[in-house]
Structures are given as structure tokens and as C-alpha cells.
Amino acid sequence: MKRRAAEAATCWGVYRETEHSPHREADDAGILEATGRRLEAEGFTVAYRTPGSVNGGDGALPTLAFSMCEGIPALEILSRWERRGVCVVNGARAVKQTHRERTIPLLEGRRIPMPESLVVDCAGALPAGAEADRLFSACWVKQATGHKTREGDVLFAADRAALAQALSRLRERGLPRAVVQRHVDGDLVKFYGVADPVAAAGETDLPPAWFKWFYPKEHPVAGHPFGTRALCDIACAAAAALDLEVWGGDAIVTPAGEILVIDINAWPSFALFRDEAAEHIAAHLAARVRRLARVAV
């Protein structure tokens, strides 16, 4: 069954748009192609597509699309592929849910610990009151859709005046909304994960197939103690809330050891762990395809 499923399956890797990860094109392509090579070693046929080359026509489609793209035009096409039976990882809906204005209510609904976050209109009046004043006294201003792609996408504000200036800068770039997130002192931790393929199929809640965390070298670390199992559980719950299968993110560990998720995204470049990550991602994708083949039989 393993070989027959592989021989029958064509897999397309879809690159990320350069505008969604400037200066990281080589890293993004590196993890996608490393994953593809491992799928080929398993007997799958692999080809690659740019986001601009995918289309929603009625031509032949792959069994699996493993995609890093984030732009709405490409995601809409991938959604149509999914409706035609293509297995897409990460699914188009999941990628859209990583847009911060969609992420916040989903994480809040699952009670994922995170700093207070508020979606605001870049051109509108800011909320008033003591609670808003506390939030605006030290906060991060982030675009509501997508993730950081260039300087100025994430700005720190220490008061209402600085916040208004940051919102004005985003508005000048044509961004209508922003997320204002409370600043939290602590150590920044980055994490990566690949879901269990059975859990990804929606049948059960299982621990991840792979999980890794590290301190980014560009940020000073105080070394606040925390539970690594708790970090894994929180990160995996956040990914599951967005229906992500291949994911990464950031958290803050406070001096008291509290873990707060501040961002989560679909299929990062895994630059520091490319070979290890590619092995696990490919195994996940292969298992998803073989599971589809068993269901079809």
C-alpha cells in the first residue's frame, strides 16, 4: 500500500510570495525543496509552482499541495483545489486564520494564554478609559492581516501619541486595521511544530509529531524558568485552534514563568533546523496522502 499510494500521488510544492517574506526567499525555498526531496525519496512525484502560476482551471491537479503561499489570490485558488479533493497543507482556511485579526478571537475562544490584544481601526478614534490607558501605555502595534514582511510592520508605542503615530504609518501604507498588543516583559521564545497526521485529519487529539523551541540569538535572555511541556502544550493548542499542520510562532516567558503566545504563523522557513524539520514535514505529508489512499479504497 505504501508504494502504490506513492506511485499514484503527484505532489506540488507552492513557494511563498516574495512580498510575504522579503530577504528570506532562499530560506523559504530551501525548506520547501528539502521537503520535496524527501517525498521523492519515498516514491512520490514532486513538482514546484510559484503562487503566480497556480490557477483555478479544470486541468489536472495534484493529489497533494504542500504550500507556503500566503497571498489571498493564491489562497482562493487553493481553496478551490481543496473543494475538488486536493489535500492542501497548510489548508487555505488555516493560513487565512493566521491573520492576526482572525487569530485573536480564535485563541481567546480556546483560552490560549496571550497578552491583551485589541483590533483597532487605523483611521478611527482610540477607545477611552482606564483599561485602554493601561494597554496603550506600553504596547506593540502590528498589522491586522499577515505578518511582518518589512520594517515598520511591528512598532512599539509607549503612550497614546506614539500609538496614534504608529497607526498613521500603517494607514499611509493602505492598511485599514491594526492589532494593539500589551507589552510583556520577559524572555522571547520561538517555537516550531508539525502536527500528528492522524490529529490533522480531525480524528483525535494527539501530541505533535515534532516540536522544537529556542531563544532567538538577537534577543537578550534572562533565563526565566518555565515548563517545556507546558510550552509545547500551549503552542500546539494555539496551532490546533487555527487548524495548522506545519507552524511556528513566538511566546514570552515572564519572570514568574508564565507563557504567553504573541504570534503564530503557517510554515516558517525553519532555517536553523531545515533538515530535521523537512524530515518530519515530509513524513507528515506522506502519511496524509497514504491515509487518503486508504480512505479512497
Is residue 295's pLDDT more than 50?
no
CATH code assigned at 159: 3.30.1490
Q: Is the peptide bond before 265 cis (omega within 30 degrees of 0)?
A: no
Give 155's strand partners.
Answer: 141
CB 283, CB 167: distance < 8 Å: no
C-alpha cell at 257: 514563568
CB 252, CB 189: distance < 8 Å: yes
**Residue 48 domain flag:** yes
**Residue 97 domain flag:** no
The DSSP letter of residue 52 is G
Give me the DSSP letters along 161-212: HHHHHHHHHHHHTT--EEEEEE---SEEEEEEEE--HHHHTTS-----SEEE
The residue among 182, 203, 233 that closes a domain is: 182
Tens of pLDDT along 221-251? Answer: 999 999 999 999 999 999 999 999 999 999 9
**Residue 292 domain flag:** yes
**Residue 100 domain flag:** no
Q: How many domains does the chain have?
A: 3
Residues 86 and 10 occupy one common structural domain: yes
1 pLDDT band (50/70/90 cuts)?
Answer: very low
**Residue 95 domain flag:** no
Is residue 297's pLDDT more than 70?
no
Map 66-97 to HEC letters. Answer: EECCCCHHHHHHHHHHHHCCCEEECCHHHHHC
The residue among 136, 163, 182 that closes a domain is: 182
206 vs 45, residue with greater confidence: 45
Residues 135 and 60 occupy one common structural domain: no
CATH code assigned at 51: 3.40.50.2300
> pTM (2 decimals)?
0.91
Give CA–CA dist 257/133, Å, rounded.
26
Residues 223 and 157 occupy one common structural domain: no
Expressed as residue numbers, the domain containing 170 is 116-182
Predicted pLDDT of residue 129: 92
* Phi, psi (deg, nearest 5) at residue 127: -60, 150
Residues 6 and 77 occupy one common structural domain: yes
Give 194's strand partners.
Answer: 210, 246
